[in-house]
Amino acid sequence: MRSMVRTSPTAWMVAAAFAGMTGLVPGEAAAEAADAPTLTAEESAKAKQIYFERCAGCHGVLRKGATGKNLEPHWSKELPDGTVQEGGTLKLGTGRLEKIISMGTDGGMVNFDDILTREEIGLMARYIQQVPDTPPEYSLKETRDSWKVMVPVDKRPTRQMNKFNLQNMFSVTLRDTGEVALIDGDTKEIRSIVKTGYAVHISRLSKSGRYVYVIGRDGRLSLIDLWMETPAVVAEVKIGFDARSVDTSKFKGYEDKYAIAGSYWPPQYVIMDGQTLEPMKVVSTRGMTVDGEYHPEPRVASIVSSEIKPEWVVNIKETGQILLVDYSDIENLNVTTIAAAKFLHDGGWDASKRYFLVAANASNKIAAVDTKTGKLAALVDTRKIPHPGRGANFKHPQYGPVWATGHLGDDVVTLISTPSDEKENAKYKEHNWKVVQEVQHIGAGNLFVKTHPTSKHLWADAPQNPEREIAESVAVWDMADLSKPKKVINVAKDSGLPETQAIRRAVHPEYSADGSEVWISLWGGKTDQSAIVVYDDKTLAVKKVITDPKMITPTGKFNVYNTQHDIY
């Protein structure tokens, strides 16, 4: 068993804020539910840190559940037939909770027996039987107080000062060190390692392709200038205690003018100046769910920027509401609210860039919003817990344009027919917004599917699967024949690294700018050597294994050109 070591100071500060800013101090014991196991102050502090790092993203800060189950000590809900169902962590008990944490579930929760020690698993089983703490709020003033500009706009380069091929640069999350590695896609060399927030969730590109916006789970948003001789952070701001998403303004006339970032806690989004990150407005997302019930923690799950209108598409997880935020007048903000389904998570554009498809994953649906009309286009039923990342667009030989999603809770890749204005695709109209095929995957636990306009292949990972062989592998299909995988690739074996006790999860296929290569992270433990394995997309052979002692726990990789132009 491996202990939780090398925890970032930033992560600890965030966990301390969660633990202590409601009248508690870091290390003070959590409020105890009746009959709950007791915790010492030291145990409580450690458990809160682990919960923030490993659990809050799926289960929520208040533990009311979303992608993951409700983890409150006691809960009840009325069923359609009028009966009341009751449950809770107290009802499950410490022994049962330890087994669930250790072994994972078929709903997409990984096994933690190779991530946490036996003692830590026991600690977490006892901790989640306590009454959850309520973290503090975070105001516009606090946001502004956190804002820093390291290099003013007028002191930045007026042209690219390095000789890197920026279009084929990769922004790679080093999850557990709170850093981003900028890796040259041509030479496979690390050009810069930039200190950012803890566990950066995504990297987004400015419309111009000059700036990279990266946001960590600790709410720290960093702006990286790729034009500098050594790319570095030129501005940063903390937009909350827990965050996931960021994007910029892309509509003609507003290129790079504004940025928006969404917070998990507090549930709100922040609008900023696009080149300095100066906070301009904070907007709360608390409100009613699509079921007509108030929710205290409706988190901002994903944000994308439309190029059809001056709007951001902002997806609110717990309420199931999709917001179209018009940024043409920030002072008099106009927001269109579209009822979709709980619990909205991540998604991507269709091939036309008119429709945005997002997973309502705990509702087992994909919601599609028409950004041209500002209305919901469809709600499509799928298998358990769809998790597309951005999804994948390609032309199916039988059904025409489709968008693909994988699933955390089922062993299929789902293909959904999408509309097209091209005359040659008119014959596929009868299939639009229907599931036209379910492609058999190697197992449940998928996080990302990916293809490229120049590729004939569809790639899918399964890092959340509890089985080592599956979690360390990816599947590749020939899109001309999706009846079975063309090849199942064990990325861990291809890396040439020595085998470890911990599962080294193969995660997040990402194409090079020209579509000739696919990069896959091999995400090992904090004390294990991790790697990025680069494959030739045509031959499926290994081209390069990128390793470096400084490259710790790489996860998401974002190619500058593909991210800038929403190619997937």
Q: Given 295, 387, 441, 508, which residue is catalytic?
A: 387
- Any catalytic annotation for residue 4? no
Furthest-apart CA atoms within the chain: distance in Å: 68
Preceding amide of 135 cis, omega within 30:
no
Q: Given 55, 169, 272, 479, which residue is catalytic?
A: 55
Q: At what angle do helices 118-127 and 41-54 cross, to 10 degrees?
A: 90
Q: Given 169, 201, 272, 345, which residue is catalytic?
A: 345
| Token digits of residue 278 | 């100066």
137: which residues sit within 8 A by CB, 6+ positions away? Answer: 266
Q: Given 109, 124, 272, 479, which residue is catalytic?
A: 109
- Any catalytic annotation for residue 59? yes
Whether the CB-CB separation of 50 and 124 falls below 8 Å is answered with yes
36: which residues sit within 8 A by CB, 6+ positions away? Answer: 73, 90, 126, 129, 130, 131
- Any catalytic annotation for residue 565? no
Q: Which helix (H) or strand (E) holds 561?
A: helix 560-564
Q: Given 59, 201, 407, 452, which residue is catalytic?
A: 59
- Any catalytic annotation for residue 441? no
| Token digits of residue 51 | 């919960």
Q: Which region, left, alpha or beta, applies to residue 508 given φ > 0 means left and ψ of -120 to 50 means alpha? A: left
Rounded-to-10 torsion of CA 37, 41, 45, 46: -70
Q: Can you state the percent helix, strand and coil of the chain, rounding each to 5?
A: 15, 35, 45
Distance separating alpha carbons of residues 346 and 298, to the nearest angstrom = 15
473: which residues sit within 8 A by CB, 6+ positions away? Answer: 442, 462, 488, 489, 490, 491, 492, 506
Whether the CB-CB separation of 291 and 342 falls below 8 Å is answered with yes
Q: Which residues are catalytic?
A: 55, 58-59, 109, 345, 387
